[in-house]
Amino acid sequence: MSRHILDSAKIHPAIQEGVANNNLDIVLEVQQAIANNKIVVVGMAQNPAPKKTRKTLDAMAVEYAYLEYGSYFSLWYRRNALKMWTGWPSFPMIFVEGVLIGGNSDLNALIESGEFAEMLGQ
């Protein structure tokens, strides 16, 4: 699978650094969490889907790291950096062993199929 992104040759040199570093700190923070944790959930306040994900993982007694960035009313521009980095359009963003598995419904599908337990080596 290849993702369609604007080729860097098509970005004027005067803005390339700005494009490359736009909200880079939030991406690096998530990458660090992914490197240090088996499961990472990235969410936002007031959104019920990340809450459902956390409730599901808590009920399964599965350890995870949770990162929360703003709400519907704040930090949307910073969350956009994560959406552009992953290509995933919504929250939560759930990573298992460094792999983006999608959101809450995707997690539930993996649990139901047994693949989630396999991913965790259970």
pLDDT in tens, 43-57: 999 999 999 999 999
Distance CA 118, CA 105 (A): 18
Question: Is residue 44 a contact partner of residue 72, using CB atoms and an 8 Å limit?
Answer: yes
In Å, how far from its chain's centre is CA 13? 29
Distance CA 85, CA 50 (A): 19
- Helix-then-strand count for the chain, H and E: 6, 4
| Whether pLDDT at 122 is above 80 | no
Q: What is the pLDDT of residues 85-107, one digit of tens each?
A: 999 999 999 999 999 999 999 99
- pLDDT over 90, % of the chain: 91
pTM: 0.93
| Lookup: tokens for 36 | 């240090």
Rounded average pLDDT over 113-119: 96
Average pLDDT, the chain: 95
Domain 12-119 carries which CATH code?
A: 3.40.30.10
Residue 116: Cβ within 10 Å count: 23
Confidence label for 67 from pLDDT (cuts 50, 70 and 90): very high
| Lookup: tokens for 12 | 């004027």
- Residue 50: cis peptide before it, omega within 30 degrees of 0: no
Domain positions in the chain are 12-119
In Å, how far from its chain's centre is CA 77? 15
